[in-house]
Structure 1
Amino acid sequence: MQTIQASTEARKRPDTQRVLALARETLAIEAQAVLEAKDRLGEAFAAAVGMVLDVEGRVVVMGMGKSGHMGRKIAATLASTGTPAMFVHPAEASHGDLGMVTRHDLVLAISNSGEAQEILALLPALKRQGTPLIAMTGVADCSMVRHADLWLDAGVSKEACPLNLAPTASTTVQVAIGDALAVALLDARGFRAEDFARSHPGGALGRKLLTHVSDVMRTGEAIPCVGPDADFSALMRAMSRKGLGAAAIVDANQQVLGIFTDGDLRRLIEQGRDLRQCHAADVMQRAPHTIAPQALAVEAAELMERRRITSVLVVDSTNRLCGVLNSNDLMRAKVI
């Protein structure tokens, strides 16, 4: 029993130097493979980008095994960067899922050997309906390339696996070329950060790039505001009732004249000023920081941080008060 336990403990403690050496060699081999793939990029890659841009439908990515896993990632990246795409499993395609692919689509087939039988079985049907095919393989002399409209070279000199068997460097190159395609297409389509956000409405980026000031600002009765002739007591009541720590001072046409904040109150008290005789116009900050309702909420957050303020008035193009925004409002909306 002791011998077995000792043997188990020994297996649990691999040689640290050997582990690090293998890990570093793996990364070096894969990095070199990507650099070699970069140097081989040429007219075929540019033509592939053009083919995808000309497609009326979607890019249908296919691959078996590890190439299939890379294909799923490539399809997801394309879809999130403005190129409609989906992954279809070749084996399932042979049993009905090929109906998802139309002549308006383009198939991106991925296989290191270029001899994946599940993909080759689909080629006659794809050819009959006129679906263009881009083959991403590790070798040029293979069945998939012979039937493809275009070949993307994803070859590697060796795998990172010490046995040179497990797909490692080859799958890294596949996904890297897929990323290169997505980035080139993104640029060609004029894809913007706002477009990316629309594909990610549930994430933090989506909230930052899709949420506008008008979506989160307080309006109507929730806005603390008084006229310039309001006495100090009325000014303080407006601030207290709305709980924003600030009040806007506006004229009869709702044009913004200034703002008064908790910070202004503290400074006046420190100065020993007699506030009982003051009116709003006497104590307000003139020309306060404002923002437009159509601005992004994240811009309001940046303004507050830059100016070290907690509230900002929202005005239209004529300087008319539309709303007010507080840092707490932005936190509730998860913009900050």
Structure 2
Amino acid sequence: MSERSNAVMLRFDPALASLRDGLSVALQIGGTLWVANDETTHLERLTIHNAAPGDQVRCDEHKSFALGKYLDLPLEEADAEIDIEGVAHAPDSGYLWVVGSHSLKRRKAEADKSAQKNIKRLSTVVVDGNRFLLARIPLVQQKDSYVLAAEVDADGRTAAQLNGNEFGNDLTTEIGKDEQLRDFLRIPGKDNGFDIEGLAVIGSRLLLGLRGPVLRGWSVLLEVEPELERGSTDTLVLKQIGPHGRHYRKHFFDLHGLGVRDLCRSGDDLLILAGPTMDLDGPVTVFRWRGGFNADEECVVFADQLETVLEVPFGHGDDHAEGMCLFDADGQGGEVLLVVYDSSAEGRKHGEADVEADLFVLG
């Protein structure tokens, strides 16, 4: 089983120091590392400075990209988070894909409130319209770095998002017809409700990992193929790719009762970061599905078809692994996985705005 080989120091703008407390995604593209805090409407770009063997890798030169500049968010930026839970890069098309959780949320009980007020809070379910986001944004290389763009005149690429509004989108409309999943749309994510956490690109199709629901121990991945709506440059619709004309496919995985927290590709394999669907600290495991998605049909993948490659350490009330990506760090050797954490432990925080992420060499 793999163990932590090193750490990466992520350095944010001190004015945005709170970003380090809620990292939910990670993606390396060339010499840049893209991360996000799930309580914002931004993507964050850091520049990677590789280190000599045994030294700590540093990522800094922080630049924040407001997604409202490239996409039509239904709610004003200050009013509602996107709850960004997945980013993925499609190198052949030059797009960065982003997905929100698509989940409802239940208000929290607070220690300074009366019992009756807390009962009312726990009875209140909130819809944050920006969470219903599935979008692509052109990625443009500038010297040794990358920036986002609303459109690229040179090749006609444009930012676009799945057709929807503040109450849902075409994906939730389709799931609302699914006898197996539709009832979970009305349940908050942390109550085992519908909750996307994880995104991977497979050719022209996307894999969306669900933290919930977990159905009798089985986790769900959805496969979709977005395309531009006819006559539009900024609106995506879903192709019919599933059985009986469905606009999605369902794939079921035995992750020992855990839900998906993130996805990433490793060649022809799929790596799955799995953790509790409920509000628990752990366990957290990375599974490998060798040759994932070579077949054009729905799959049911049993535990003996998966390899356990990593047990990720977790804290007590902190250090919840939320995002991962393959990481090219000089001198590490082997296949290296970067893991970032929500609710970072105090020991990970350094200075005004720095936080450590972990590197693991996978066996």
**TM-score, normalisation: structure 1:** 0.20
Higher Cα Rg: structure 1 or 2? 1
Q: TM-score, normalised by structure 2?
A: 0.19
Higher relative contact order (CA 8 A, sep 6+): 2
| Richer in strand (by share) | 2
